[in-house]
Amino acid sequence: MITFDHVSVTYAGAPAPSLHDVTLEIPEGELVLVVGPTGSGKSTLLRTINGLVPHFSGGTLSGRVTVDGLDTARHRPRDLATVVGLVEQNPSTTFVTDVVEDEVAYGMETMGLDPTSIRRRVEETLDLFGLTPLRGRPLGALSGGQQQRAAIAALFAAGPRVLVLDEPTSALDPVAAEEVLASLHRIVHDLGVTVVLAEHRLERVVHHADRVVLVDGGHTSDLLDPAEAMLDSQIYPPVVGLSRLAGWAPTPLSIRDARRRASALRERLVEASSRSVPELRAVGPATALSVSDLRVVRAGRIVIDELDLGLEAGSVTTLMGRNGAGKSTLLGAIAAQHPVAKGRVRLGASSVDPHAVPPRERVRAVGLVPQQPELLLYADSVAAECVAADADFGAAPGTTAALLHRISGGIDGAQHPRDLSEGQRLELALAVILAGSPEVLLLDEPTRGLDYGAKHRLGEVLSGLAAEGTTILLATHDVELAAEVADRVVILADGEIVTDGKAREVLSASPAFAPQVTKVMLPQTWLTVAEVANAIGRSA
Amino acid sequence: MPLRPRLLHPAAWWLWGLGLATAASRTTNPVVLLLVIGVCIVVVTERRDPATTNPLWGFLAIGAIIIAFRVVMTMLLGNGVHGETVLFTLPRVPLPEWASGIRLGGPVTLESLLYAVYDSLRLAAVLACLGAANALASPRRLLRYLPATLYDVGTAVVVGLTFAPQLVTDARAVRAARTLRGHEGTGARETARLAVPVLETAFERSLGLAASMESRGYGRTVHASTRDRRLASGLALVGLLGVLGGLYGLLDASAGGALGLPLLAVGAALAAASLVVGASRERRSGHRRDRWQWPETVTALAGAVPAVVLVAGSVRGWDGIIVTPAPGLPALPLPVVAAVLLAAVPAWLTPRPREEDR
């Protein structure tokens, strides 16, 4: 269906090719997963399939890419639109229309389907992706996950034979991600559509994949069997980590397979778990952040109502909940980005009201890393950005650069912030915000586009900050990150708190929010591979 | 209430906005210009497209900045308008011989200030009309009606049309993010620092949109041969150039107003021809297209009437169209006021946009 024949891609002005002599043949009706660290050339590989690289992006492509017999050198992306649908990483920049329903219909309109079939397909697609209640809503007013679903639906509705998706689930809550993957699974199995997707959250997708391609530094592997690929991939989901630890073979990819093999490991851990209940981080009194009877209204709609929340100083709390539950709005209200309609927010030991103080003082009490970290970055090089941040926060020269070094371990200071990978941009934005040394640090969806390595580093940085007394509240869909760093988990639904408790209890109690290790080890409540490894080490 | 309340055809709002802008561009009468801005605000308040983030205020703010800038520059440099009424005198900076044409400081007269205000108010009013059109029907809705035959021109139009409203949205986002770094996000220095990131973000988004339209099949080859396609594109390009030249002639009375109308007519004819040629081959279909009914006609006419009245007035040289800057209120021709007020009619005669929660 898709053939790469000695394909290399070099962008204009780039010192090295982004793709290096790729030869692959993807058969029809396969679900192929592209795995690789950030900046390894995954996005470039995907964008060559519909010809956006090089027709739109520029650069040189040597070799040949053919899709359904059409050579992308001679067919422009618009001519390939009937064959290939491409869902980009950040769907909000790719919407052509304003309203969900129009967006779903757009592709079919350009293809010239007759209005009756468009109507029918619009209805079917809206149902398939659970968008019917949102059909008349402006796309700009949807939450990130809803936008992602709308973008996939819009592409799918046009009926392409190949669907290419770049990180389709990274902005979705676990349940919504499962829904999207289930519908992808269905269209692969029932309709014979070929799907190629790149995703960092392997724990969500790897068991759906028929084949895996590993990408590293522009080089690709052959089409591999997923279990074999996971055997020696540098990037692997927790369940594979557990399997490597316990020495299971063949490598299980799904929770179900892993549970079948896990009984011996569970027995081995019974004793260990009774002895080694992992100790909680020492935390201060619940005065770092207090929110009482909060109501936030955005665009005439009540997003948050009657919300009470108190955070202990030096603790890490994750805020979870489905897309559109009000997580970002709550963080925005705490950081005084959105006005508060009712209720009060107080920060830190000196009870600062963030809405009453000027920004200059507010940044000492609270720092927010927004969902799009690039909004915080203005300078034309990383080094200049660090200098500007020192000046902004009145910190000693070099503070931000030192923080950045600690967080990321090496970003070239001469690079332009917009040329950084998603993960590096987040690290830079985090360093900028930390230069203000806020008492309370808020992070909105920080794991989007991060590979396991970057995520692990972020987890360590956050734990380190908490140990130094910073109170951290992060909104995330990433249960694995929550399992790694959180003391406490708060689950939000429709602007109200539905669950609030210790991370271990909350994460192991709810099937939707349980990390993979917990699902495998239930009824024991281990959260991470590291914990299990630790326990085995101690019990042995 | 129907499930999908009717929205006015976006082309109707844009015709209305362009008509009103043409009207505003022909006069320097401050009362008429303020009326135009008032009409824009009223109509937008009543009939705003809920899917947009109301770019009107951004456009009004830019207008205000333009006026302030002009006034300050006039005080410092003068503008060649000599008046009797000296308000105050700034210390004059002596300039070397070669710069004798330039004056720095010196007496500031009421007449020169009024001239600056009237002239820049005209630009502000035109901007308000464009902002209103943006707020009433988002350019993206208009895009759905952009013929695919104009592909090459079309992509440029996409980037252009979505750029300004995107700029306003991004300016808000960047300003909000600015407070996270301890800045108020206001003031001249701040604005200067924000300019680059805002422009970058808005431009990236517009390019992203163009890429997305490309990969979703906008402008697929609908012609039998490349020659046909080039013919249609060439026709469209020449037509658009004609329309632009004609509009320029109409808008700027000083640059050959006599040539304006014929050029516009020829350009429009050529553009229409390319559309007809293209549309006959176009395979694109429509899903729930907005229909053109009497409210659309009323709206387009409500914009056309002030344009016609003011163009006629300025050609005939009515009193109070081009105002000589002098103390006191200028003459106010009744037909002009009536025509501009007529433009507010769509605020009540059109269907109300959906007001569901957003």
Q: What are phi and psi of A60, to 5 degrees?
A: -115, 135
Instruction: Measure CB to CB from residue B177 to each of A78, A113, A376 and give the nearest one.
Output: A376
Nearest chain B residue to A299, by CA:
B358
What pLDDT score was predicted for residue B356? 46
Describe chain B by its helix, strand, coil percentages, rounded to 5. Answer: 65, 5, 30
- Using one digit for the tens of pLDDT, what is the confidence trace for B177-196? 888 888 876 667 777 777 77
DSSP codes, B195-206: HHHHHHHHHHHH
Q: Judge if B245 and B281 occupy the same domain.
A: yes
> Which one is predicted more confidently, B92 or A194?
A194
Residue A26 pLDDT class (50, 70, 90 cuts): very high
Which pLDDT does position A174 carry in this prediction?
Answer: 82
* Surface of B (44-83) touching A: CB under 8 A: 49-53
Nearest CA in chain A to B186: A359
* B118-177: pLDDT as tens digits: 989 999 999 999 899 988 888 777 777 766 666 666 667 667 767 777 777 788 888 888
Q: Which of A81, A97, A337 shows the shortest C-beta gap to B144?
A: A97
| pLDDT value at residue A372 | 83
Which of B8, B134, B215 has the highest number of chain A CBs within 10 A, making it the mutation to test binding with A? B215
- For chain A, the average pLDDT equals 86
pLDDT tens digits along A187-202: 888 888 899 999 888 8
In this model, does residue A226 exceed pLDDT 60?
A: yes
Helix ranges restricted to H, B52-187: 56-77, 110-136, 139-143, 151-179
**Given an 8 Å threshold on Cβ–Cβ distance, is B214 in contact with A102?**
no
Distance CA(A381)–CA(A396), nearest Å, equals: 19
CA proximity to A291, closest of A143, A487, A442:
A442
- d(CA B65, nearest CA chain A) in Å: 23
Measured CA to CA, the distance from residue B90 to residue A504 in angstroms comes to 74
Q: Which residue of B has its CA nearest to A389?
A: B181
Instruction: Indicate whether A2 pLDDT > 70.
Output: yes
With beta carbons under 8 A apart, name residues in chain B contacting A80: 215
> Cβ–Cβ of A76/B138 closer than 8 Å?
no
Mean pLDDT over A94-117 rounds to 85
Residues 6 or more apart in contact with residue B297 via CB below 8 angstroms: B12
The answer, yes or no, to whether residue A86 has pLDDT greater than 70, is yes
DSSP E strand stretches across A206-249: 211-216, 219-220
B321 and B294 in a common domain: yes
Does residue A25 surpass a pLDDT of 60? yes
B4–A110 C-beta distance less than 8 A: no
| Contact yes or no for A78 and B283 at CB 8 A | no
A440 forms beta bridges with: A366, A471
* pLDDT confidence tier of residue A134, bands split at 50, 70 and 90: confident
| CA angle, B175 then B62 then B122, to 5° | 170
Task: Say if residues A222 and A24 touch (Cβ distance below 8 Å).
Answer: yes
Radius of gyration of chain A (CA): 24
pLDDT tens figures, B109-133: 888 889 899 989 999 999 999 899 9
Query: Is the Cβ pair A337, B182 closer than 8 Å?
Result: no
- Encode pLDDT of B291-323 as tens digits: 888 889 999 999 999 999 988 888 888 888 888
Name every chain A residue with its beta carbon within 8 A of the beta carbon of B353.
Answer: none
Identify whether residues B2 and B121 lie together within a single domain.
yes
Q: Is the pLDDT of residue B41 over 90?
A: yes
* Interface contact A393-B52, CB threshold 8 A: no
- Backbone phi, psi, residue A265, to 5°: -65, -40
Name the strand (E) or helix (H) holding A304: strand A301-311
Q: Which residues of A touch B219 (CB under 8 A)?
A: 78, 110
Please tell me whether residues B135 and B21 are part of one structural domain: yes
Q: Closest partner residue to B182 among A78, A337, A360, by Cβ?
A: A360
Q: What is the pLDDT of residues A250-271, one digit of tens each?
A: 889 888 989 988 888 888 887 7
* Residue B284 Ramachandran class (φ > 0 left, ψ -120 to 50 alpha, else beta): beta
- Residue pLDDT, tens place only, A281-315: 666 667 788 899 999 988 778 889 899 998 888 88
Rounded to 5 degrees, what angle do the CA atoms A148, A153, A155 make?
100
Q: To which H or E segment does residue A151 belong? A: helix A144-157
State the average pLDDT over residues A151-165: 89
Predicted confidence (pLDDT) at residue B352 exceeds the cutoff of 50: yes
Give the chain A residue whose CA is nearest to the CA of B53: A140
Confidence check: pLDDT of B36 > 90: yes
Residue B180, domain extent:
146-220
Structure tokens that stand for B95 in this block: 């300039």
Helix (H) or strand (E) holding A162: strand A162-166
Domain boundary among B191, B220, B249: B220
> Is B288 within 8 Å of A378 when comparing Cβ atoms?
no
Instruction: Based on the fold, state whether residues B331 and B200 are members of the same structural domain.
Output: no
Please give the interface size between A and B, counted as residue pairs whose CB atoms are below 8 Å apart: 183
Nearest to B353 by CA among A106, A126, A99: A99
A372: which chain B residues are within 8 Å (Cβ-Cβ)?
A: 173
For residue B39, the model assigns a pLDDT of 95
* In contact, B222 and B282? CB cutoff 8 Å: yes
Write the DSSP assignment of B21-76 as a string of letters.
HHHHHT---HHHHHHHHHHHHHHHHHH--TTS--THHHHHHHHHHHHHHHHHHHHH
What mean pLDDT comes out for the span B332-358? 80
Query: Which neighbouring-strand residues pair with A309?
Result: A291
According to the model, what pLDDT value does residue A432 have? 92
Least confident of A90-99, A382-391, B339-348: A90-99
B76 and B42 housed in the same domain: yes
Rounded mean pLDDT, B72-98 = 82
Please give, rounded to a whole number of angstroms, the shortest distance from the CA of A257 to a CA of chain B: 39
**Res. A539: pLDDT tops 50:** no
Nearest beta carbon to residue A98 from set B141, B174, B216: B141
List the single residue in A122, A140, A392 with the smallest CB-CB distance to B287.
Answer: A122
Interface contact B216-A50, CB threshold 8 A? no
Collapsing DSSP to helix, strand or coil, B7 comes out as coil
Q: Percent of chain A, pLDDT > 90?
A: 18
CB contact under 8 A, A136 and B354: yes
* Residue B148 DSSP code: G
> In what helix (H) or strand (E) does residue A505 lie, and over which residues does it extend?
helix A503-509
Chain length of chain A: 540
Chain A residue whose CA is closest to B284 = A112
Q: Which residues of B touch A419 (CB under 8 A)?
A: none
pLDDT tens digits, one per residue of B246-298: 767 666 655 555 666 677 777 777 777 766 666 666 566 677 777 888 889 99
Q: What are chain A's domains?
A: 2-240 (3.40.50.300), 313-339+355-509 (3.40.50.300)
A113: nearest CB among B179, B193, B285: B285
Distance from CA of B39 to the nearest CA of A (A): 24
Question: Where does a domain end: B200, B220, B240?
Answer: B220
> How do A31-35 and B86-90 pair as beta strands?
unpaired
pLDDT tens-digit map of A400-456: 998 888 887 677 888 888 778 777 888 899 999 999 889 999 999 888 778 888 888
B185 CB within 8 Å of a chain A CB: yes
The distance of B212 to chain A (nearest Cα, Å) reads: 5
Say yes or no: B193 contacts chain A, CB-CB below 8 A.
Answer: yes
Whether A149 shows a pLDDT value over 70: the answer reads yes
Q: What is the CA radius of gyration of chain B?
A: 23
Do A94 and B201 make contact, defined as CB atoms within 8 angstroms?
no
* Number of domains into which chain B is organized: 3
Q: Is A247 left (phi over 0), alpha (psi -120 to 50) or beta?
A: left
Residues B27, B100, single domain; the answer is yes
Categorize the per-residue pLDDT at A276 as very low, low, confident or very high, splitting at 50, 70 and 90.
Answer: low
Cβ distance of B213 and A107 shorter than 8 Å: no
Nearest by CB: B183 against A122, A137, A359: A359
- pLDDT at B30 exceeding the cut of 70: yes
Query: What whole-number distance in Å separates Cα of residue B272 and Cα of residue B269?
Result: 5
Measured in whole angstroms, the distance separating CA A473 from the mean position of its chain's CA atoms is 17
Distance between start and end Cα atoms, chain B? 17
Among residues B238, B254, B288, the one where a domain terminates is B288
- For residues B334, B336, B338 and B341, what is the CA-based torsion angle, rounded to 10 degrees? -140
Name which of A80, A109, A360 is nearest B287 (Cβ-Cβ): A109
- Tens of pLDDT, residue by residue over A354-390, are 888 888 888 888 999 998 888 888 888 899 989 989 9
User: CA of B285 to nearest chain A CA: how many angstroms apart?
Assistant: 5
> Is A107–B140 a contact, with Cβ atoms under 8 angstroms apart?
no
Would an 8 Å CB–CB cutoff place B215 in contact with chain A?
A: yes
Residues B75 and B153 in one domain: no
- Using an 8 Å CB-CB cutoff, list chain B residues near A111: 217, 220, 283-284
- pLDDT score at A375: 84
User: Closest approach of chain A CAs to the CA of B354, in angstroms?
Assistant: 9
CA distance A201 to A383: 31
Place of tokens 């249609």: B232
Query: Which residues in chain A are closer than 8 Å to B358, comparing Cβ atoms?
Result: 137-138, 141, 299-301
Nearest CA in chain B to A48: B215
- Nearest chain A CA: its distance from B227 CA (Å): 17
Looking at the fold, whether B120 and B202 belong to one and the same domain comes out as: no
Do B238 and B355 reside in the same domain of the chain?
Answer: no
Same domain, B278 and B295: no
In A, which residues are within 8 Å of B53 by CB distance? 140
Kind of pairing between the strands at A219-220 and A440-444 = unpaired
Question: Quick one: pLDDT at residue B2?
Answer: 43
Residue of A405 and B100 predicted with greater confidence: A405
Q: Is the pLDDT of residue B244 over 80?
A: no
Instruction: Tell whether B178 and B305 lie within a shared domain.
Output: no
Q: A450-489 pLDDT, tens per residue?
A: 888 888 888 888 988 888 889 999 999 888 889 888 989 9
Mean model confidence pLDDT for chain B: 79
Integer Cα distance of A48 and A196 in angstroms:
12
Q: B residues 282-301 near A, CB within 8 Å? A: 282-288
- Taken in order B319, B323, B324, B330, the sign of the CA dihedral is positive
Residue A104's identity, in one-letter code, is V
Q: Which comes out higher in pLDDT, residue B23 or B103?
A: B23
Backbone angles phi, psi at A198, to 5 degrees: -110, 140
Asked if A81's CB is within 8 angstroms of B217's CB, the reply is yes
Residue A537 DSSP one-character state = H
